Chains A and B, each alone.
Chain A
Amino acid sequence: MSRPWPGGSPDASRDGPEADPGDAGFSPATGLSFAHRLVSIGDRPVLHDIALTLRPNELLAVCGPNGAGKTTLLRALAGLLPGTPPRDPRRVAYLPQNARCAWALTVGQVAALGRIPHRDSAESPVTCALQSCGILALRNRRVDRISGGEARRAMLARAFATEPDLFLLDEPTADLDPVAAQAIMHLLRQTAESGRAVVVVQHAVDLAIRYAHRIVVLRGGRVAADVPAREALPALASAFGLPFGVDPEPRLLPYDERASPH
């Protein structure tokens, strides 16, 4: 896999090498097979016996209780942990949990950072990304002077601007109001269905079931279930130790593009 940065492997990973190299990188045609017996952070084992396939045209949600290893799984998929193969940054975009910008860049400047792997300053992918994320009008606003939801969309637009084949997004809808969260999940499903592979860590189980094609349930660092989203409820309920059943109360209905201002 070619890397555009001369002489560099991304050596941001600061933990001991423990995992087995078990995949050959992402291909837009076949997706990515990820198989690791053990993934550790330092000398603390976090993930065991992980075997996953990420497919194009699929929105995959990773769910599970706090500490189940969801973030570690995503960082391993992104090649940011030792022993995991580095990814081609032009093909794989990674959005960490609580992503924020240290400086008050404009929304457009944040999105343009997604072009760094391509080493160009192409305008059209950035404009497209801002458009997809619904923040084109905010292009010249500073990220410290817009709402939390808008700032999160700016971070997402950075990932879109890379025009990757694989999106790895850690809780892209955390702290968003229900409409904004649904709008983003809707966008991610559409993105997946345009031929990309999208992986989201998702705490909101109802959003995962409603929008994802497939759900991987992690529990205690192991894959407890890897099932189509519509069949995931029993596995999710057992992972969280909650009962499940039919809720007779009225609820918010799925996101409708035409009816929503987003």
Chain B
Amino acid sequence: MIARDAAAAREAIDAPRVLAGLSASLLVLLLLGLLVGDGILALPDRLILLEIRLPRTLLAALVGGGLGVSGAVLQGALRNPLADPGLLGITGTAGLGAAVVFYWGLAAHFAPALPLGGLAGAAVGASFLLAFAGRALSGASLILAGIAVSALAAALLALALSLAPNPFALAEITFWLLGGVADRSLSHVALAAVPILLGTAILLRLGPGLDALSLGEDTAASLGVPVGRTLRLAAAGTALAAGGGAAVAGGIGFVGLVVPHLLRPLLGQRPSALLPASILAGATLLLAADLLVRLAPLVLPLSQPLPLGVLTAVLGAPFMVAIARRMPLP
């Protein structure tokens, strides 16, 4: 107990060390990402490296980083340790947008149609969210609006699936919705990078506002923080940083939820202290998960590659249960 108090107090000294450690592991995993193929560990030829492994590795890092920082900002802004990008319905509407593109068969004619559909879905979801939540925005109204948007997206997605033109389209949509970073090209990476980097830049600036919000919205306002504007930027930044990832990599859950919980014991609980580290930790986590996906065929008799989103959920769910059991009662 005393050791933990001390850990929180050492935050300022420890932060550079934690950031350095995370950067080092991220670099190692990026290198491994180029070395490890589906069930093989060898340096590939130039074509495989550039066309297959590089986009896959970069995409995992980008998507993970965007999800990590989105989770850290949302938990801070909503003062809720269970908040994550999925809660606001952004992942759901991105999936819906992609499914609609599948449904009309647009992806067959124009490859980037799928991620563009996902991006459009995320944008529509974010606009809905801000419209539902109304002008007078509070954390509670944002959560309620997010639940409404999620439910609507899930219902419309079920409709799109039930009306799917043929069984192959249905299978394809389902697989895409499970989430993954395999078989994407560098143009997919570029498409995801723009919104993710833009959203991350927005989210990183919210630190002091999030710190003030930990004392409640009234106190934050009395400290001169524009509360409504901070919440709107948190929602918009999340839509870009997490929606951009969902548009290209499908529904990857639990990364945004888990990353802030992993970092708090190391960095203390001040929301702004988690932001830069949450990018690195999210990227590291998703890269590690994708490496597990690639190595899974070595140990498991799999006819199909393991979907990345399934792996993060299978690993993330028990972890969250463990955290919830240790959490003190309010």
Q: Which residues of A contact B (CB under 8 A)?
A: 3-5, 7-15, 75, 78-80, 87, 89-90, 92-96, 99-106, 108-110, 113-114, 116-117, 119, 139-142, 144-145, 155, 158, 162
Contact = CB atoms under 8 A, between A and B. Distances in A.
B132 to A, nearest CB: 15
Contacts, number: 121
Interface in B292-330: 328
A11 B215 CA distance: 16
B217 A105 contact: no
A37 B219 CA distance: 26
B223 A117 contact: yes
Contacts of B271: 103
Q: Chain B: interface secondary structure?
A: helix
Contacts of B166: none
A139 B5 CA distance: 10
B226 interface: yes
A94 B224 contact: no
A142 B225 contact: no
A93 B222 contact: yes
Given A5-B224, A89-B223, 8 more contacts: A10-B227, A12-B217, A13-B136, A79-B222, A96-B216, A142-B5, A144-B328, A155-B215
Contact of B218 (A3, A4, A94, A109): A94
Contacts of A75: 218
Interface in B241-294: 268-271
Nearest to B220: A12
Nearest to A116: B223
Lowest 6 A-B CB distances belong to which pairs?
A: A8-B226, A89-B224, A12-B221, A140-B9, A102-B79, A94-B222
- The SS class assigned to the A binding surface is loop
Contacts of A144: 328
A7 B233 CA distance: 13
Given A75-B218, A101-B215, A103-B214, A11 B228 contact: yes
Given A11-B227, A99-B215, A105 B268 contact: yes
B42 interface: no
A96 B228 contact: no
A10 B219 contact: no
Contact of A140 (B6, B214, B225): B6
A128 B227 CA distance: 28
B262 to A, nearest CB: 15
Interface residues of B, number: 36
B229 A8 contact: yes
A5 B225 contact: yes
A101 B217 contact: no
Interface of B: 1, 4-6, 8-9, 11, 76, 79, 136, 138, 208, 211-229, 268-271, 328
A104 B269 contact: yes
Contacts of B270: 103, 105, 109
A144 B268 CA distance: 13
21 contacts: A8-B226, A8-B229, A12-B220, A12-B228, A13-B221, A14-B138, A78-B222, A96-B218, A100-B216, A101-B215, A104-B269, A106-B9, A108-B9, A113-B214, A113-B215, A116-B223, A117-B223, A117-B224, A119-B208, A139-B9, A142-B4
Contact of A116 (B208, B216, B229): B208
A10 B8 contact: no
A12 B218 CA distance: 7
Contacts of B1: 145
A142 B214 contact: no
Nearest to A114: B223
Nearest to B228: A11
Contacts of A110: 215
B5 A116 contact: no
Contacts of B229: 7-8, 11
Nearest to B229: A8
Contacts of A140: 5-6, 8-9
A140 B279 CA distance: 27
A116 B212 contact: yes
A96 B4 contact: no
Contact of B5 (A15, A141, A162): A141
Contacts of A113: 211-212, 214-215, 223
Contacts of A11: 136, 221, 226-229
B214 A102 contact: yes
Nearest to B9: A140
B8 A106 contact: yes
Contact of A7 (B76, B214, B225, B226): B226
A110 B229 CA distance: 23
Contacts of A116: 208, 211-212, 223-225
- Please indicate which of the listed interface residues B138, B215, B228 has the most CB atoms of chain A within 10 Å of its own CB: B215
Contacts of A9: 226
A141 B227 CA distance: 28
A119 B215 CA distance: 17
